[in-house]
Structure 1
């Protein structure tokens, strides 16, 4: 999907204006509890495991990221018909990525994961991007290593993978893919937010990952529910101001609209003068995660003053990475984690050590992708 570039200087000016405004903000009274998951180094997050390197949101991509040396594995969750949490960005199987049991790519809109059992889902292959996928393939497929036979994993399998690598330092940034707006085409089969969060927390406790998970979402209802269940779980408020994106990836903040956005858990962004940082603080978020072009140095400083970290999505070009690091962000989510890692090292910023498990069935030498992607090291930014 192509997006119109928005100059970050526009947001710099807006942030400067915001900084001099004085207004009363009635924040929801949420007890301040220290979040458990709190990386002490720059948070290098592999978006969907690093989708420009390996099939996205799979054990293959997460193994790649572990062996590369990232701080956090970023991924998306869906709740199945039989109440299993699987890792998939799209609620309906992506025709650009998914082959059916017959070996052919599925048709768009054909299979809704939320209406399928885990056994049914495991019959599909997400290991090879469709070379006829147009812009999607041009943006992400040219550097992605095909791994035929790759299946959609469960959240439990992701935790077990990390344990099999002996990595007790890796963090997990896990998004509840929940569709709050009734006008959203994906809303019809949306999982009950409370049921979704409770199932997530059940698995987190089972694997004792409370101090290593972030729960992120555009649907801030799930963040409030999680806070009520366990206020020590780190919460990440995703946001987007991009109305042209439709309901594919964006969270409508509805700045200037009379009615509150259904995504913001009952908050009206206009009560915060359009300031998503203060709104995120009001629902108890520990991290604000906006689309990267919607950041300014002032907004980063504001978040830090409120005790929140800033980790923008999804940043793929070295120029943009350097600009955001200079702004003072605490981490970056990227489809190209190998580029971000190399940049951090060159800037003398600490990075996580690689974890190698040559006995893992998902181990594929990291040097393969390094060779393949040198020619595209100047790749651009993309959507979440």
Structure 2
């Protein structure tokens, strides 16, 4: 009888493995985008976060842009320093009721880079590792990440760049959309000249604001455009709002239905929802047929699909 126990134990394991739900295989070219790097694990929109995203095999790094006083492009989700994630150069806190007065558009980059935006525990991401981290310049960040990728023998990585724009911000928190779009295009062209590998064919540009996307389409028609939306409605509703034919349609993940996926594909667009952090939502979206997803936790996606 004792010899039967190991056999029964092994049989139980095999049966349990057989009961695991089968998952749809990932389609070729599925795009895993690290939201602000790997925001759930390292400080958002910083080099440590971007390196972490590379280590977790993302295919694209998603980040946001603001503009400094001297019109340099700075990677930042807001055009100001948030009180709950940033500290002043002397280490003192930023008053919550005054955070929007700490405007990047009124500071030279030599001042911006003295703020610490990684040492405070992120209120929405308790697993995020804290460390000193600064808001980098876009050009320096892309150069650093490309070198990090090359040093590890990995294929070139993509960049999904969000222009943070709002009519209420024009000429106070950010430049006008046409100026913002021109600055981005000029910096990308200059950076591509300095890099050993092509850049523009690895870049897409997104926004919730149609205006900078129209401006960019006018000066760089070959650059892939992404429309971002968080409002309910059909694909056609959102296209009418933007009055654009984008390459990528990027709705909030909670809005996505099979109809959205079918219609996007019917119109020749890829659909890449944001920001998908729960494994069950990741699996559901893959099964619906999306072409990629944006997540704070690339590690969770890797665990789900055994990518590592």
Alignment TM-score, normalising by the size of structure 2: 0.82
CA contact (8 A) 1:47 1:73 kept: yes
CA contact (8 A) 1:55 1:126 kept: yes
Distance in 1, Cα, partners of 2:39 & 2:93? 19
- Of 242, 246, 253, the residue aligned with 1:285 is 246
- CA-based RMSD of the aligned residues comes to 2.2
What is the aligned counterpart of 1:162 among 145, 148, 162? 145
Q: What count of residue pairs does the alignment treat as equivalent?
A: 269
Contact 2:36–2:49 (8 Å) recurs in 1: yes
Give the aligned partner of residue 77 of structure 1.
65
Displacement of 1:125 after TM fit? 0.7
Give runs of aligned pairs for residues 1-384 of structure 1, distance below 5 A: 41-108=29-96, 109=99, 110-130=101-121, 137=123, 139-140=124-125, 142-148=126-132, 150-165=133-148, 166=150, 169-180=156-167, 182=168, 188-208=172-192, 209-241=199-231, 275-277=237-239, 279=241, 282-345=243-306
TM-score normalised by the chain length of structure 1: 0.66
4+ long deviations beyond 6 Å: none
Query: Measured at CA, do residues 168 and 196 of structure 1 come closer, stay the same or move farther in structure 2, by a change above 3 Å?
Result: farther
Instruction: Quote the residue 2:13 is aligned against.
Output: none
Contact 1:96 1:129 in 2 (8 A): yes
Greater RCO (Cα-Cα under 8 Å, separation 6 or more): 1
Measured after TM superposition, the shift of residue 278 of structure 1 is 5.8
Answer yes or no: is the 8 Å Cα contact 1:162–1:168 preserved in 2. Answer: no
Pick closer, same or farther for the CA change 1:216–1:304 going to 2, 3 Å.
Answer: same
How far residue 313 of structure 1 moved from its aligned partner, in angstroms, is 0.7
**After superposition, what is the alpha-carbon deviation per residue over 1:123-163, rounded to whole angstroms, capped at 9, x for unaligned?**
11112224xxxxx62x31x2111112x11101011111123
SS of residue in 1 equivalent to 2:85: coil
- In structure 1, the gaps of 5 or more residues are 1-38, 131-135, 243-254, 256-271, 346-350, 354-384
Change (3 A) 1:273 1:194: closer
Please give the alpha-carbon distance, in whole angstroms, between the structure 2 residues aligned to 1:115 and 1:177.
16
Tell me, in whole angstroms, the C-alpha distance in 1 between the residues paired with 2:184 and 2:303.
33
Alpha-carbon deviations, 1:229-282, whole Å to 9, x = none? 11111110001117xxxxxxxxxxxx8xxxxxxxxxxxxxxxx897215655x4
CA distance change for structure 1 residues 51 and 211 in 2, over 3 Å: closer, same or farther?
Answer: same
Q: CA deviation at 1:107?
A: 1.7
The answer (yes or no) to whether the contact 1:62–1:73 under 8 Å persists in 2 is yes
**Which structure has the larger Rg over C-alpha atoms?**
2
Unaligned runs of 5+ in 2: 1-26, 193-198
- Maintained 8 Å contact 1:176/1:216: yes
Alignment partner of 1:158: what SS? Answer: helix
